[in-house]
């Protein structure tokens, strides 16, 4: 049984990781850290784990952390994650980092969007971008997987086949997310009275931190540059993400060819589905991404809809998928 | 006091009309018809009117309808509305028709999208398109106002300034709507367990009936043709509509000029606002449309966000605004 | 036009007061204070007021407050309210206090539940309990009306006829409230991810601060003591309160007699309704309280359901009703 | 691998059964019937099963049903279930019946509340009441388990320890349920616009069909009669049930003794928890029932809060728990 550590595990991604790892079979959570909740039982903070685990939160300053686990999931805020990954790597531990710190190789972009200098640029080269559908082989051989951002992976997976196989001018992604994407911190924007019965776009255009992640990763994965407009939007649901993606083509493609290109691109992928009907509900609490290529009414614009659970395929489920690849488990273990 | 009749008034638009007219001051609801609820008290069907009105639903076949009111709001399904408007017009009564029957002048398009032949094409020419911000003078002098569709008016008002003043190649509108847009009929798609925690695009591309309404009306109002992709989407809210509209320009425009163009276009409009922050909540239960011109990150694509209450500015509030114009009331009466 | 001041007006009750007073006709908001938002426009904090008012929030320390208005609504936290009411009273201003500071005459109970000493017990005697259905005459002649608490007024109005006219052993009230009852402060318990898809009882038994308010006020109004169990519960709605109240009778009463007793008790009340169907929806955004006396299946237990909008009849609507009485307006002005 | 059949499996309880059985390990769904969806793929009706199962819905009239499975879950409406259970029993098949047809032994009560005559009273004696915490041994040896109703099992499990060990005068249960309890049929009462932002009590007093089920089963299980008031209520959540239960005692009991009595009563139960905090969220998507004994403020009234997922411990999860007992699996298999 692989002993895993969840660093900064008292948030929503930590909670999902615990849930998955308790049932994984090949890996288990052996240590979960939290500065704020150190000493408390996991089941006191997340009562749904009552009777299911006796784990307690450990202080992240505790020196025993690295001896307690052989694989780490890092759920720390960015820059904190940067340090932990460095330390874990120095001790020969493999990690999946759910923060943004090792996602982008362009440190200038990182510094512009995250307002902090990247201290370990040499480590960036060792970090695979943790999106198995596009970087599977790289992830298998890597010691660090930088787990993809939620808006990023939804739009990347929705656009990649077109960008790779067609001539794309630009991509517009209208990306609706559930509120869990904002985490557990009590801020005005996450309060019920501000979310319920509402729909709010935020950081639109090219302002959201996942925007440069999308363009860099699409370039890295397909070799082609694309322009992007990203319109993240909050809607009143707990979990789920659905992006309507408009892909402007320099050269028109028929709907049939486009559909075939997408199916071929993802042939054999265990977590990519092409359903007749697409909606958030169908993917909630699963690790699937559903993709539908729609008739936009115009041959030069492809309308692609992509949907997944932002906490699973968009975060913790994808993180375990990465771990499975890095540690030689069946890729789908614990995720079906 | 102007006596008004609400025909087919037991649905959601009827309910809003009753609410507005009970407080209007210059007009009042004197007859409300409903086939299904004939003979019942309005307050039995809509309990919130308990103690506020003694009105009963009248059978629409009742011959007294035309003598009971001097102005009519038609909330019938399309084709039924077509007939009623014809009859009311023959009796010299002015009407606001909330159905789609008199919105489009191109009967071929009407017949294609509504699967029925238009029986009174000559009456179409007498019908103003009931969107005061674009057709105020026409509405003032008309006997029939074809109240704009909800997705239609939101996208039309969000795109019109650009289409009029700039060189627009095409418009993509990602139009999120609350569930009340689907009415009160119990169908699977309107059930709580299918709507809650969900987000569902429907009739995407150029399939929704409001798509040809948008292109025809933009042409009629600005003299220019534009291509359109419309992506209607259900989100789990009662009421409200918010469209993120991407307007591709043939010739780039700076954000400042675009903002000024929009402000100038709607100068003096009592129900158009340009707020700093835009969201559904700010317009719910009001007749305002909020519009925000955003930086898309690209000079050749304008990102415009438009939001209103689909049952008010998108339906019954706008209908009363039309009535106010047609009957010489202050345009904002009963609506602030 | 009566100039009113709203002290501590940047919260949810202030927002509702502004909305009502902008349309009241006889009174208007002339000053609104807020420590946190001083200097900001009201419409910047509450964007729905955009174009409807130019009011700015004034610092509560501003010495001009008392000259700016002739009547005050106090929306401060308890103890802060205690001081402001004292000052306003000293200047001869009438006030409606929406805090709990002047509701209970038993200062020992106040101090036990609010963890603070009451500094102005002599002023308590001048304060009417601001629930017009039970204390109308007193309110008319008073200079201070202590606006009733939300759980308190719902259960009091639901139980008072039985307590007054029958022999009641005890009252159990299962009181469901929307989230707006918790205000706008960003705390964990008010976050979307903790409220949505949830139902949480809190401060059950006799722990909630409104519990002793209910028993004291029922005693003051009916002359009789009753025992109480109060079970406040959060449900995922914005606004609304619905209490299922079980009233144990020492002497059985038939359903018909009970219904008649309730109707007689509230005969002529403009805001009390006895509908066939009762639900939160029917009272939202109104100042009505709906009451239904149900067949509990047992003659010795009366089942009464009471529902109102916690921000209107349960707070700001009721506050304006009190102002109307104190200032000689029609009681329903601005509230229908 | 035990082959199971799900009869009437295109509803919400069928969907949950499929979900559980696909992961159970010892049992699998080998046939699922549906009149309306016969011939369709299960994953077309429930898209979340896409790629997870190739099952198709079989017509219930198909003669092969009984050869296709060795154990049956009956999700038919009452009276239809009555017949199917009879037939399955005649063929020697064990069944869990999720309808109400075999729950109550008093056929007069059954006929009064379900408006139909019970045709197989002799079979009633062979049916165990399918609530393992109270009837485990009986279920183990039975060929028919009548799966408990949702409001029924929540209130029964919440009240049974008190009824058994103390002297109970009557029980009042205020039982809040999510909307999934009403099934998938499109009716007005289940529409989003009627449920959202609402709270509605229904069939209050002793009118709900689960009321006589509760009193009969409490009698059968504890040997004592109690009076009951049941107040079912709809709140706007998908799934979950939380009952606040007021238990009037003839002889007072201290809180400590009451808590101990409850813990002792359910000692060793794998699905009963006594958490510090109780809410719907903590039990959603689990088979647990959380119970909290609260201080009501009065020694003669016990306040017990019980919460579970109405589709799992309140329906399909409990049904699999029954199957596990009847077929010799580990009781918790597939349910943790």
Query: In this structure, what token pair is assigned to residue C304?
Result: 């009464």
3-state secondary structure of C130: strand
Reported as a pLDDT band with limits 50, 70 and 90, residue D262 is: very high
Q: Measure the CA–CA gap between D305 and D290, rounded to whole angstroms.
A: 8
Q: Which residue has 């103690």 as its token pair?
A: B51
Please say if the pLDDT value at position D77 is more than 90: yes
Alpha-carbon distance C270 to B50, whole Å? Answer: 11
Nearest residue of chain C to residue B270 (CA atoms): C51
Q: Which of A296, A153, A299, A236 is nearest to B173 (CA)?
A: A296
Residues in chain A with CB shorter than 8 Å from the CB of C196 are 179, 192, 196, 236, 238
Asked if C184 lies within 8 A of A193 by C-beta distance, the reply is: yes
Rounded CA-CA distance B14/B29 in Å is 10
- Which of the residues A28, A75, A150, A263 is marked catalytic? A150
Q: Are C335 and C25 in contact (CB under 8 A)?
A: no
- Closest chain A residue to D268 measured between Cα atoms? A51
- Cα B154 to the center of its chain, rounded Å: 8
Rounded Cα distance between C10 and C29, Å, is 13
Interchain proximity A48–D276, CB inside 8 Å: no
Cβ contacts of B187 within 8 Å, gap of 6 or more: D186
Of A198, A281, A298, the CB nearest to B280: A198
Q: Nearest by CB to D172, from C172, C176, C178: name it.
A: C172
| pLDDT value at B63 more than 90 | no
What pLDDT shows up at residue A65?
A: 95
Give the single-character DSSP code of B170.
E
List the Cα angle C214/C217/C221 in 5-degree steps.
135
HEC profile for D276-327?
Answer: CCCCHHHCCCCCCEEEEEECCCCCCEEEEEEEECCCCCCCHHHHHHHHHHHH
Spatial separation of the C-alpha atoms in residues A6 and D27, rounded to whole Å: 34
> Could you tell me if B268 lies within 8 Å of chain C, comparing CB atoms?
no
Q: How far apart are CA A139 and CA A326, in angstroms?
A: 6
Residue D14, helix vs strand vs coil: helix
Instruction: Return the number of CB contacts < 8 Å for C and D.
Output: 140
Q: By the 8 A CB rule, do C97 and C81 touch?
A: yes
Q: How far is CA D107 from CA A93, B285, D75, D81, in A?
A: 67, 52, 21, 16
Mean pLDDT of D55-61: 96
Of B211, B237, B294, the CB nearest to A204: B294
Task: Verify whether the Cβ–Cβ distance D196 to B238 is below 8 Å.
Answer: yes
Q: Please tell me the predicted confidence (pLDDT) of residue D69.
A: 97
Q: Min CA distance, A51 vs chain D (Å)?
A: 8
DSSP B205: B
Inspect the interface and report whether the beta carbons of B305 and A237 lie closer than 8 Å.
no
Q: C197 touching A, CB under 8 A? A: yes
Q: Which of C194, C205, C239 sits opposite D303 (nearest CB)?
A: C205
Q: Is B150 a known active-site residue? A: yes
Interface-testing mutation among A173, A194, A196, A199, with chain B (most B C-beta atoms within 10 A):
A199
Host H or E run for residue C33? strand C27-33
Measured between beta carbons, the chain A residues lying within 8 angstroms of C184 are 188, 191, 193
Those chains having 3 or more beta-carbon pairs within 8 angstroms of chain D are A, B, C
Among A182, D196, D283, which Cα is nearest to B195's?
D196
Which of C292, C225, C28, C266 has the alpha carbon at shortest distance from C131? C266
In whole angstroms, give the CA distance from residue B268 to residue B290: 14
Strands D57-58 and D27-33: parallel
Under a CB-based contact definition with an 8 Å cutoff, are residues A205 and B296 in contact?
Answer: yes
Is A297's CB within 8 Å of B205's CB? Answer: yes
Q: Which residues contact B311 (CB under 8 A, 6 or more apart)?
A: B12, B13, B16, B180, B239, B317
- Burial of residue C90 (CB within 10 Å: 0-12, 13-18, 19+) is exposed
Compare CB distances from B279 to A199, A207, A211 and report the shortest one's residue: A199
- Nearest-angstrom CA–CA distance, C62 and C289: 38
Contacts of B44 in chain D (CB under 8 A): none
Per-residue pLDDT band at C222 (split at 50, 70, 90): very high
Calculate ∠ Cα B253-B258-B262, nearest 5°. Answer: 150
Question: Which residue of chain C is at minimal alpha-carbon distance from A182?
Answer: C193
**Interface size, chain B vs chain C, as Cβ–Cβ contacts under 8 Å:** 41
Predicted local distance difference test score (pLDDT) of residue D63: 86
> Which chain B residues have a beta carbon less than 8 Å from that of D190?
186, 191-193
**Residue D223 pLDDT greater than 90, yes or no:** yes
CB of B256 less than 8 A from some CB of C: no
| Averaged pLDDT for residues C165-174 | 97
Please work out, in degrees rounded to the nearest 5, the angle formed at the alpha carbon of residue D227 by the alpha carbons of D224 and D231. Answer: 130
At residue D120, does pLDDT exceed 90?
yes
Which residues numbered 51-90 in A keep a CB inside 8 Å of some CB on B?
none
How large a percentage of chain C has pLDDT more than 90?
99
Q: What is the pLDDT of residue A125?
A: 93
- D48 — contact with chain A (CB < 8 Å)? yes
Nearest-neighbour CA in chain C from A11: distance (Å): 12
Q: Do C193 and A194 contact (CB within 8 A), yes or no?
A: no
* Closest by CA position to C150, among listed C72, C213, C108: C213
Q: Is the pLDDT of residue B125 over 90?
A: yes
pLDDT (tens digit, 9 = 90+) per residue, D184-219? 999 999 999 999 999 999 999 999 999 999 999 999
Residues 6+ apart with CB under 8 A from A115: none
pLDDT band at C63 (very low <50, low <70, confident <90, very high): confident
Q: Is B291 helix (H, G, I), strand (E, B) or coil?
A: strand
- Interface check for D236 against chain B (CB to CB < 8 A): the answer is yes
Q: What is the DSSP string of A74-111?
A: E-PPTTHHHHHHHHHHHTT-EEEE-SSTTT-S-HHHHH
pLDDT 10s digits, D166-188: 999 999 999 999 999 999 999 99
User: CA-CA-CA-CA torsion for A94, A100, A106, A112, nearest 10 degrees?
Assistant: -150
Interface contact D196-B196, CB threshold 8 A: yes
Q: Which residues pair with B94 in a beta bridge?
A: B71
Distance CA D85, CA D89 (A): 6
Nearest CB among D48, D282, D283 relative to A286 is that of: D48
Q: How far is CA B51 from the centre of its chain?
A: 29
Cα C119 to Cα C103: distance, rounded to the nearest angstrom: 14
Q: What is the pLDDT of residues D4-44, one digit of tens each?
A: 999 999 999 999 999 999 999 999 999 999 999 999 999 99
DSSP assignments along D80-102, one per residue = HHHHHHHHHHHTT-EEEE-SSTT
Residues from chain B that touch D181, judged by Cβ atoms under 8 A, are none
Query: What distance in Å separates the CA atoms of residue B284 and residue A77, rounded to the nearest whole number?
Result: 36
Over its length of 336 residues, how does chain A's per-residue pLDDT go in tens digits? 999 999 999 999 999 999 999 999 999 999 999 999 999 999 999 998 999 999 999 999 998 999 999 999 999 999 999 999 999 999 999 999 999 999 999 999 999 999 999 999 999 999 999 999 999 999 999 999 999 999 999 999 999 999 999 999 999 999 999 999 999 999 999 999 999 999 999 999 999 999 999 999 999 999 999 999 999 999 999 999 999 999 999 999 999 999 999 999 999 999 999 999 999 999 999 999 999 999 999 999 999 999 999 999 999 999 999 999 999 999 999 999
| CA–CA gap between residue A215 and residue D212 (Å, rounded) | 63
**pLDDT over threshold 90, residue C332:** yes
Owner of token pair 């008309």: B142
Cβ-based neighbour number of residue B195 at 10 Å: 24
Q: Is A196's CB within 8 Å of C238's CB?
A: yes
User: Which among B33, B258, C21 is positioned nearest to A205, based on CA atoms?
Assistant: B258
Q: Is A246 on the interface with B (CB under 8 A)?
A: yes
pTM summary value: 0.96
Q: Is A67 exposed, middle or buried (0-12, 13-18, 19+ CB in 10 A)?
A: exposed
DSSP 3-state percent helix, strand, coil across chain D (nearest 5):
35, 25, 40
Q: What is the pLDDT of residue D232?
A: 98
Give me chain C's average pLDDT, please: 97
Question: Inter-chain contact C205–D170, Cβ cutoff 8 Å?
Answer: no
Q: CB distance C172–D278 less than 8 Å?
A: no
Chain A nearest-CA distance from D52, in A, is 8
Q: In what order do the strands lie in the sheet with A168-177?
A: A200-201, A227-234, A168-177, A241-249, A301-308, A289-294, A272-273
Alpha-carbon distance A150 to A209, whole Å? 11
Question: How far is C162 from B279, CA to CA, in rounded Å?
Answer: 46
**Could you count the other beta carbons within 10 Å of the beta carbon of residue B38?**
15
Strand partners of residue D304? D245, D293
Selection from D190, D166, D168, D188 nearest residue D179 by Cα: D190
D20 three-state secondary structure: helix
Predicted ipTM beyond 0.85: yes
Q: For residue A164, with 0-12 CB atoms within 10 Å meaning exposed, 13-18 middle and 19 or more buried, which class applies?
A: middle
Q: Is the CB of C296 less than 8 angstroms away from the CB of D204?
A: yes
Binary contact (A191, C192; C-beta < 8 A):
yes
Do the beta carbons of residue D185 and residue D169 sit within 8 Å? no
For residue C177, the cross-strand partners are C234, C241
What is the rounded end-to-end Cα distance, in angstroms, of chain B?
A: 19
8-state DSSP, C324: H
For A32-68, how does the pLDDT look when each residue is reduced to its tens digit (9 = 90+)?
999 999 999 999 999 989 999 999 999 999 989 999 9
CB–CB contact D187 B190 (8 Å): no
- Judged by CB atoms closer than 8 Å, whether chains meet at A281 and B197 is answered as yes
Query: Does C268 contact A at CB distance below 8 Å?
Result: no
What pLDDT is attached to residue A63?
Answer: 86
Inter-chain touch D52–A336, beta carbons under 8 Å:
yes
């Amino acid at each position: 049984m692989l002993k895993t550590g969840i660093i900064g595990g008292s948030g929503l991604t930590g909670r999902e990781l615990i849930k998955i790892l308790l049932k994984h079979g090949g890996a288990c959570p052996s240590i979960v850290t939290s500065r704020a909740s150190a000493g408390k039982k996991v089941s006191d903070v997340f009562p749904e784990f009552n009777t299911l685990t006796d784990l307690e939160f450990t202080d992240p300053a505790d020196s025993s952390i690295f001896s307690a686990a052989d694989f780490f999931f890092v759920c720390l805020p960015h820059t904190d994650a940067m340090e932990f990954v460095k330390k874990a790597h120095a001790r020969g531990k493999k990690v999946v980092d759910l923060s943004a710190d090792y996602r982008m190789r362009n440190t200038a972009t990182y510094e512009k969007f995250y307002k902090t200098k990247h201290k370990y640029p040499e480590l960036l080269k060792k970090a695979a971008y943790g999106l198995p559908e596009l970087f599977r082989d790289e992830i298998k051989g890597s010691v660090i997987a930088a787990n993809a951002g939620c808006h990023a992976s939804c739009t990347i997976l929705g656009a990649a086949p077109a960008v790779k196989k067609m001539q794309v001018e630009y991509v517009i992604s209208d990306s609706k997310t559930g509120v869990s994407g904002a985490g557990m911190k009590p801020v005005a924007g996450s309060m019920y009275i501000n979310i319920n019965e509402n729909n709010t776009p935020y950081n639109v255009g090219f302002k959201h931190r996942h925007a440069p992640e999308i363009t860099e990763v699409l370039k890295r994965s397909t070799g082609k540059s694309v322009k992007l407009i990203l319109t993240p939007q909050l809607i009143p649901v707990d979990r789920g993400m659905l992006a309507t993606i408009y892909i402007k083509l320099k050269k028109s493609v028929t709907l049939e060819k486009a559909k075939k290109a997408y199916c071929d691109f993802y042939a054999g992928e265990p977590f990519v589905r092409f359903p007749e009907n697409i909606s958030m509900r169908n993917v909630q609490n699963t690790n699937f991404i559903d993709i539908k290529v729609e008739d936009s009414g115009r041959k030069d614009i492809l309308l692609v809809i992509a949907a997944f659970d932002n906490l699973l395929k968009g975060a913790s489920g994808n993180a375990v998928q990465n771990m499975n690849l890095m540690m030689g488990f069946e890729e789908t273990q614990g995720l079906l």
